[in-house]
Structure 1
Amino acid sequence: MSEELKRRDGGGYIRTMTKGPQAGRKRKGRWQWVVVLAAVVAIVPAVIFASFSAASYLAGLTTTKATLIDILWHRYVDSSSRNESERPHEQMDKPLHYDSSDSSEMVTTLPVPVAADKTHKRVVFSLAVPDLSSGHILQVMAEFQVTNDLGYNVMCMSQIILAESKTSVSGTEITEANGRNVTPAAHHDSFPKIGSVTVTTTGTKYVNVVAWCAASNATTGARITVDADYGRLSVIRY
């Protein structure tokens, strides 16, 4: 049981003090409040710190997102504003293949003068390559065959060029001009060609296979046969 104790203080007032189990419970309640207050003091700064950290992280994400969008937008605008001719080779169209198909020889014979000049040159194959831009690369392969029924050696020359028209015999060199004698004993001979060129102009150009012949003992009007469907011209544009 609790017991009330009374005593006078210095001012003459009577103060009542409780002694027993109830007093213990009151003291215990005070300690609980102390513990709660200490927990609040410890937790609140941690919560505030975590809130600031989360805010900083989200702000960082927003900034990163904005930066990425800005970069991608500027790249799109830059790439859209430039002409295709100004773009790096890697950003251009996929490779395109052009082929002259079967029996595409444009001539059936080649003149055989004693000394050949430009007037004796003939376009054996031609392919139009459209939509060219500076930086495009053309890889070219060609082959044709001739037959010598003249009874004497005939020097046959050939070259691949990039020209302005399908009948032009002069233009940008894609392969060297070279050749060899077609002898009566050999009778037939083929002339394979391969080369590549980087385009420096725009528009439609023509890849032409040009051939010409000569013989020191050629007779007037002599001609050598270009065999039909024994060759073709193939172009890949990169």
Structure 2
Amino acid sequence: MTSRCVWITGASSGIGLALAERMMRDGWIVAGSARSAGALADLAAKHEGRFFAYPLDVTDADAAAVTVARIREERGGLDMAVFAAGTHKPVEVEDFRIETFRDLIDINLMGVVNCLAAVTPGFIEGRRGHVAVVSSVAGYGGLPTASAYGATKAALINMTEALKPDFDRNGVKLQLVCPGFVRTPLTDQNPFPMPFLMEPEDAAEAFYRGLQSDRFEITFPRIFAVILRCLNALPYSLYFRLVKRGTGK
């Protein structure tokens, strides 16, 4: 059991919510952020003394900095940050919109950048702390309808890999999280079969185990991540043929 504090963005639903509930069961104090102040307030009432609401739009860098300062002051410090806020908008070439890409880049990519900028200086100054960046196996390679979503997740993978040596040098643990398909309102939008689909509670259990490990990349289900890694190592002619067979696209 522990009384350490974790900041989780995207904490009002999906993987973020499931992870928050799992960590609270293990004694963690959760500072939860999301845009939905009402949902966060309900969670704070349900988990009184364990969950504390910090409404935040992650696209607002100044607000992210203020939120981190509040958490550190009100909760007596911060031990871990998990950046799980994100969204998905399917893209078909027949309805290709600049706005879709801009929105997903602002939320999925720049939202993490804004939160990293807010939390990293304190961790580096103290030469301690733990950051987990939630990307997706969709970032491994291009998949139908995920041209905008996958692009942001690929960027997160690259960014986190690039930052890892710097974090190590400063005594801060950095992990990359690449989930497969987890049943959430986002995956409900997918118009194709989703192999190895996980329930949020099972995903949260795998996520939490990964956070306690020394692995850089946390994936679940692992078999799906391995399959996609292998798929992306194939020649494009075979890759596109297999993607079409698997997704119908």
Larger helix proportion of the pair: 2
* TM-score calculated relative to the size of structure 1: 0.20
Larger strand proportion of the pair: 1
